Structure 1
């Protein structure tokens, strides 16, 4: 899921992610026609969400507000508390996927991690970014920190991003004081990394409230003020309680003066100071106490040649007003033209845009998380719905899985069994399977037709008509005949039947693909940041070299069908020409056969597991191999090795293992483990549907 997207996030408040977002959006709007802005998490109260309204208005983005929103802060916390983490992440993937279909680029603005500090012991932004498959740009707040603190944060953050499996595009260190910039740069160079780290100085004006913000927060009444004056910065506020002489000696540029409305002397002195050449220009006057100046004073002020000082009125007293002004937090709004100019200039001056763009172009996404894989799987299955037959309707897990599949509209379902019994059991379980087709093999009009067809297929093997009829009453045989006759596109069984019970009818009726001599299996191993294919771990006890070659080819084709670039490693206890012995020779021969049969595939063998998956080991053992260190498909020499390895990896890493998935048959039939969970069934059915889709493309 390689989106044209960038994820910006900070670990603490007041880091200035909006500043970085403005800089990026300005850059992106110059390169792409349609750019979307998205926030995976927003505050609970819409009025507290300021980033989205700003970006929509200032950059005139053609996107509805609701399309920019993922979930509220409380919704995210509740989802994790209810163990619905995957559902939430999947929903976010769907929202971003929708934007990707309608926009050229997506700028994603994360939520400060510290807002979740008391709830989560992980970085919510990294978790989301990893599952979205996007590059990550952390923003650090350098305010009140020395150079060593900042460099330690940079190093720790980079290590965290790497360990989480995310891709770092660049690190932005915002709000740097001028005296630490050089020290931070020297410290960063000392680490000898190839990171892009950008240091942005503290700009006081950006972190200063405007008169417009103060008017809004205090709900002040405007007595005299032009709209442009509302953009004046308010660097400090003072209460005027002394005489005019002492007052004038204590005011400074951009001060906001709080004064009782009946102090005409202060009001007039302020305007005289404003008009004088060598006296400070205050930002405005707030008249406290809810009293309005007399018309005589207002008329006099209006006669001044310059525009009058902004005059506001509030109902609170001077002390309460001063406290309220001090509590106003600086924000950036679309009306703050001066601040916006400063921000864009900051980005232009301190960011190497071309270098950043080049880094983005070179950043290739190889990350596939379990949630990403399952989301892709369901979307692919849903795109061209297939009909899957489930012969084991007596199993509660099958019914629960069928309900999920039908509700999510992933596939069409055929259940085999007595209709009244199935519906009664589903009613007791509160399951909705109303969209499923239900067939009772023993009472079906198809029974005789299927019996005669099966007899004709197997008569040369000595099958009698009565024996064929007995077989058709068996759910797996009847289901396989539905598949054979095109009444279903795939079949999934094994929850209550053995692997042999599932495969035997398929081999007798459907048979293997042309050029493939053996039915084999693979497991999709969903690790934290990648999906690997393991084969054969469930069916063939000790395949010959020829069978192993066909297993490798089938496994590669399965990988390709699910969007995984096949780089095939035929495993052994020896790598390359370093060892010998019957088992190594079998793998070596199988590798040569597979390479000859499918020269289009990248196939390496014999190779040890560590050399196949670890690039450092690969460079020592097979430095010129295109597979070593980068393998995605692992073919084990026998069932003992494969079965133990997949279970060891599954249990020791927490990986999700989907399978066994059968391959090599003309039509898709898949086997379940008798200990399978409902999720396993759902995944296997979706995979079966995608396998059926592949047949349409031939």
Structure 2
């Protein structure tokens, strides 16, 4: 039977969604198919943001409507009939899953005092143990609860669960006072001293950032219209509010990091001064400005404001100062599917304060034999986190790089150096609401490093006539600068290519890093994460038409890369014919490459020449190559040329929905990896993790 867990709370605004996300990811690391289910939602037709959030992070392609039970109205009109519907709809979704995270109702304004009792009835009827989430703050969020208050709530709610015959799995106190975690855990645990079995209790500290609304949400609540600034910055969190209805000299000292500043529309001096303060290094970075009162800027002031070309969002609101401030205060933040930094924050808080291994033991979860794309990605990040390697990112002017860097640092995946102008990068990071405080930022024109790198580059390329004077210009190119950092041990690896061509990224590594002993050619692979396994495809990005000797070399390098990432190498040397069924120059090249490979690495399992279907499909293999230990079970696919390899990986990526990670360069003395210029933030994160793992587990 699939694993089930029901996440419930005794009131609203406990941050249950962030706990649900942590549970979902804990299960996804171990279980092949993890689904989500919402027994009760405000509406079965309007989107539920909690469900959308969780579905965005599952490893199944579940339809939203299949994951919803009934509406609040249905529960109120016919509780017993609604429960029957919930059980029926849950059974349908569970058939597609190995585990299901069930998230209870949210105590909205249409809730009732019996809501916990009804959630307990649902959990009992679904046979799902309850993970109880208690709020460390009062339901309106105004103040922290005492330990005794939380102990009493735990006692009352556990009794309610017991009366409904729902099993209590564990308790998490969320949004807890960070300075009293141990006291809170001890106090809540004491509520279960008289029970037959101990109940694990964990406490997750409050992080104000998770409660902060976005600038977009603030503008919506204050009926504001954006008149200037970068719309992309509307997704930044507003960490505070400054009411600037006072003289200029009193406003400036009150500015705080990430604040929305509310300025009466007729205070032109304050508006201009606030914009200038935001652009200055000596004042905090602001999240936005709201011009309230429905007063239009005088034309000459408007001209000045627009002439400053600030990216800071500026909006106008028809509301008065008091109502504007009141609405901003009432605007709640929420953990949404598109809020990357909040997602990372919630994930780290959960991982650092909840014993995931103990939770899996309580649920009696057995690790899955399949490897899904999400499982593989989590494994990459976990392995990279263990090694804590230092990776250099040369393209600091690209927002995708900055967003990825913020996520990597928050999740402690690697130590990072970003190349570029420090002032500009940190200012842009602040505008985007990113935390880059742990990143080292170095200019490629840093005089000390430039001189050192030029001297070394001139030495390495002396046989090509390179001089230090010429090298002084060359090494200021970010690809050369980053490669020199890796070469001299100032970084363990480099990831580039978001804004540069592949040639521009890897040419310096050919000149400086060079190939490993015994390797004749630098090549690449893609790690292809299919629905239930991960395959290695090579070479799909570097060598247009490799010789037989180079193909054998690529196969060896690809097998070694497979081992680095926990994949047992079974090598298929691909061709348009299998075994001895075909002939021709292309087939003979693959046949010779196979012979060379077997000669050089007799320990590897190899089949070739072999067609793709015979390598991947057991039924075809039984007919075409029945005695092969590789046919039908290949994990490393070596393509005869770049045309075949590149098109095949893209075809599989698009038609089979595979996650293609790469290209991963191999054969170099130190890891340098290239990004697609269309790379997404998640692609950059994965590539940095891959590079860190390569640096931590070099091939002998």
TM-score range, shorter chain: 0.5 to 0.7
TM-score, normalization: structure 2? 0.53
Deviation at residue 379 of structure 1 after TM alignment: 0.7
2:6 to 18, 42, 49: 42
Aligned pair 1:84/2:87, yes or no? Answer: no
Change (3 A) 1:40 1:477: farther
The secondary structure found in structure 1 opposite 2:628 is coil
Pairwise CA distance, 1:119: 8.1
| Secondary structure, counterpart of 1:575 in structure 2 | coil
2:463 is matched with 460
In 2: Cα distance, 1:648 partner to 1:392 partner:
29
Of 103, 109, 123, 2:94 maps to 123
Q: In 1, Cα distance between the equivalents of 2:386 and 2:458?
A: 37
What is the distance in 1 between the residues matched to 2:668 and 2:428? 33
Residues of 1 paired with 2:448 and 2:615: CA distance? 53
Q: Give secondary structure in 1 for the equivalent of 2:664.
A: strand
Q: How far off its partner does 1:401 sit?
A: 0.5
Matching of residue 540 in structure 1 with residue 543 in structure 2:
yes
Using the alignment, how far apart are the partners of 1:496 and 1:561 within structure 2? 28
Report the counterpart of residue 659 of structure 1 in structure 2: 662
**Conserved? CA contact 2:479–2:508, under 8 Å:** yes
**Inter-partner Cα distance in structure 2 for 1:681 and 1:113:** 46
> Which residue number corresponds to residue 621 of structure 1?
624
Within 5 Å, which residues of 2 pair with 1:269-284? Answer: none
| 1:345-377 superposed Cα distances (whole Å, 9 cap, x missing partner) | xxxxxxxxxxxxxxxxxx996411011101111
| CA offsets 1:319-353 (integer angstroms, 9 cap, x no match) | xxxxxxxxxxxxxxxxxxxxxxxxxxxxxxxxxxx
Partners of 2:640 and 2:568 lie apart in 1 by 22
- The 5-angstrom pairing of residues 167-178 of structure 1 reads none
d(CA) in 2 for partners of 1:41, 1:391: 44
- Kept after mapping to 1: 8 A contact 2:390/2:492: yes
C-alpha displacement of 1:74: 4.7
CA contact (8 A) 1:536 1:639 kept: yes
The partner residue of 2:689 within 673, 686, 694 is: 686
Aligned residues: 394
1:381 to 1:397, Cα distance in 2 relative to 1, 3 A? same
- Where does residue 434 of structure 1 map in the other structure? 437
Q: Per-residue deviation at 1:123?
A: 3.1
Q: 1:364 to 1:473 in 2, by over 3 A?
A: closer
1:42–1:72 Cα contact (<8 Å) kept: no
* Aligned counterparts of 2:443 and 2:477: Cα–Cα separation in 1: 11
* Closer/same/farther in 2, CA of residues 580 and 88 from structure 1, 3 Å limit: closer
Deviation at 1:525, TM superposition (A): 0.9
1:121 is displaced (CA, Å) by 6.8
How many angstroms does 1:45 deviate by?
5.4
Compared CA separation, residues 452 and 535, structure 1 to 2 (3 A): same
Secondary structure (helix, strand or coil) at the match of 2:535 reads strand
* Structure 1: unaligned runs, 5 residues or longer: 1-7, 10-38, 48-69, 91-111, 131-173, 175-212, 219-362
Partner of 2:691: helix, strand, or coil?
Answer: helix
Which digits, 9 at most, give the CA deviation of each residue in 1:109-147, with x for residues without a partner?
xxx9974765897437615389xxxxxxxxxxxxxxxxx
Distance in 2 between residues matched to 1:645 and 1:581, nearest whole Å: 21
Mapped to 1, the partners of 2:405 and 2:7 lie a distance apart of: 37
CA gap of 1:118–1:454, structure 2 versus 1, over 3 A, is same
8 A Cα contact 1:42 1:73, kept in partner: no
1:409 alignment partner, SS class? coil
Show the counterpart of 1:194.
none
- 2:378 is matched with which residue: 371, 375, 378? 375
Compared with structure 1, are the counterparts of its residues 581 and 118 closer, same or farther at alpha carbon in structure 2 (3 Å cutoff)? same
Cα distance, 1:553–1:79 mapped onto 2, change above 3 Å: farther
Cα distance, 1:87 vs structure 2: 3.9
Rounded to whole Å, the distance in 2 between the matches of 1:74 and 1:364 is 25
> What RMSD over aligned residues (CA atoms) do the two structures have, in Å?
3.3
Please show how residues 379-458 of structure 1 align to structure 2 within 5 Å.
Answer: 379-458=382-461
CA distance in 1, matches of 2:408, 2:429: 14
Of residues 632, 636, 640, the one that matches 1:637 is: 640
The 8 Å contact of residues 572 and 637 in structure 1, kept in 2 or not, is answered as yes
**1:106-121 matches, cutoff 5 A:** 115=86, 118=89
Change (3 A) 1:583 1:120: farther
Q: Report how far residue 452 of structure 1 moved.
A: 0.4
Q: Residue deviations 1:276-296, cap 9 Å, x none?
A: xxxxxxxxxxxxxxxxxxxxx
Equivalent positions of 1:333-344 (< 5 A) are none
How far apart in 1 are the matches of 2:624 and 2:534? 24
Matched, 1:490 2:490: no
Residues 35, 94 of structure 2: 8 Å contact kept:
no
Change (3 A) 1:383 1:652: same
Question: Which string of whole-angstrom CA distances, capped at 9 and with x for unpartnered residues, describes residues 669-693 of structure 1?
Answer: 0000011111100000000000001
Q: CA deviation at 1:86?
A: 5.7
Q: CA deviation at 1:89?
A: 6.5
- For residues 552-571 of structure 1, what are the structure 2 equivalents within 5 Å? 552-571=555-574
**Matched residue, 1:676:** 679
Indicate conservation of the 8 Å contact 1:41/1:73, yes or no. no
Cross-structure match for 2:596 = 593
Q: Deviations over 1:436-484 (max 9, x none)?
A: 0011011241110110000001011122222211111101101011101
Q: Could you say which residue in structure 1 is the equivalent of 2:78? A: none
Q: Which runs of 5+ in 2 are unaligned?
A: 12-33, 42-47, 61-82, 102-126, 128-159, 166-365
Contact conserved, 1:494 with 1:671, CA < 8 A, in 2? yes
After TM superposition, list the pairs within 5 Å mapping 1:354-369 onto structure 2: 366-369=369-372
**Inter-partner Cα distance in structure 1 for 2:53 and 2:84:** 20
C-alpha spacing 1:476/1:114, structure 2 compared with 1 (3 Å): farther
Matching residue of 1:581: 584
**CA offset at residue 509 of structure 1?**
0.5
Q: Distance in 2 between matches of 1:584 and 1:575?
A: 9
CA contact (8 A) 1:113 1:124 kept: no
Return the index of the structure with the highest Cα Rg. Answer: 1
> Residues 36 and 54 of structure 2 are in contact (CA less than 8 Å); yes or no, is this contact kept in structure 1?
no
Give how far 1:579 is off.
Answer: 0.7
Distance 1:541 1:387, change over 3 A: same
Counterpart of 1:302 in structure 2 is none
Alpha-carbon separation, structure 2, partners of 1:377 and 1:629: 26
TM-score using structure 1 length: 0.53
> Within 1, Cα distance between the matches of 2:35 and 2:543?
47
